[in-house]
Amino acid sequence: MERLLVTGGAGFIGSNFVHHVVNHTDLHVTVLDKLTYAASRESIAGLPEGRVELVVGDIADDDAVDPLVAAHDAVVHFAAESHNDNSLHDPSPFIRTNILGSYTILEAVRRHDKRLHHVSTDEVYGDLELDDPKRFTEDTPYNPSSPYSASKAGSDHLVRAWVRSFGVRATVSNCSNNYGPWQHIEKFIPRQITNVIDGIRPKLYGSGENVRDWIHADDHSSAVLAILERGRIGETYLIGADGEKNNLEVVRLILRLMGRSEDDFDHVTDRAGHDLRYAIESGKLRQELGWQPRFQDFESGLADTIRWYQEHEDWWRPHKDATEAKYAEKGQ
């Protein structure tokens, strides 16, 4: 494998993967990205031009997708509409990108017999009760609760059907919540970090009891690369780093790491349809492929992320005022 096509490689998780591949392999990477509001050229700026190329295009456009797939050895498919709240306001972009776009990728890799890894989310499984000791596994039934998670569930099922029906050489991964560099400041952790930098009190949805299983984006990237290189065709792998924290704990830890009182935050109206708890059991990935996260505890990964936002204000500053204005309209 010499040439890798990464869809959505200018977005948050995709760009972290591109950086990881450049730093840990000799692969040439082509990024196919529509450059929606959640992506930016700056996320992959500075990488060697001889090894990283950006093509601006839509994954639902077969004329753009087919020649790129034909020219590469493998495809890692990150591209997706992923903001839950936006999917409640208008589901249509989620259906087009996450389902039709994934279908377009699948047909191209089928025509040209290329290796595919499809990146998905743990939200396809719905949520768990706060006092439930169980975690999601590869055998957990799907139970999506939003247009976003339903569209991702649909794309997962398409991949598995194309493996079984047409022999497409594909794998699937479902990952817990990512945090780290290059994440849009509309998202929970970077929004709170940048608020503290600006002297604004962080905002906590509801009581803050909702639990997420956090993983640093670089650890997600190393897991995806391991699956691409060594994963068994047709298999699904869950990616997690044992980072279960409720939102209240996360806000207080951000404040403490940034030298503020742990109670220096405001409660705001909870999100509609806010899932209670996600939790990943990643034993299959660790045992089969020998993967381990670099950030063994959430606090060290969060401290690394805070430093990044402190040192890269030029990246997020142009979007801050508009982002906060949108939240203010919703009382959040």
Which amino acids are annotated catalytic? 122-123, 148
Side chain identity at 163, as an amino acid letter? Answer: V
For residue 169, the 8-state DSSP code is: -
Strands 3-7 and 28-33: parallel
State the residue for tokens 């930098």.
197
Q: Tell me how far apart the alpha carbons of residues 173 and 236 are, in angstroms, rounded to a whole number.
A: 5
- Say whether 165 sits in a helix, a strand or coil: helix
* Pairwise CA distance, residues 306 & 257, whole Å: 8
How far is Cα 274 from Cα 271, in angstroms, rounded to an integer?
Answer: 5
**Bridge partners, 7 (sequence order):** 32, 77
Six-digit token pair at 44? Answer: 């992959």
**DSSP H or E segment with residue 246:** strand 244-246
Ramachandran class of 234: left when φ > 0, alpha when ψ lies in -120 to 50, beta otherwise: left
3-state secondary structure at position 39: coil
**Which structure tokens are listed for 9?**
């490689």
**Strand-strand pairing, 3-7 and 203-205:** unpaired
Host H or E run for residue 75? strand 74-77
DSSP state of 122: G
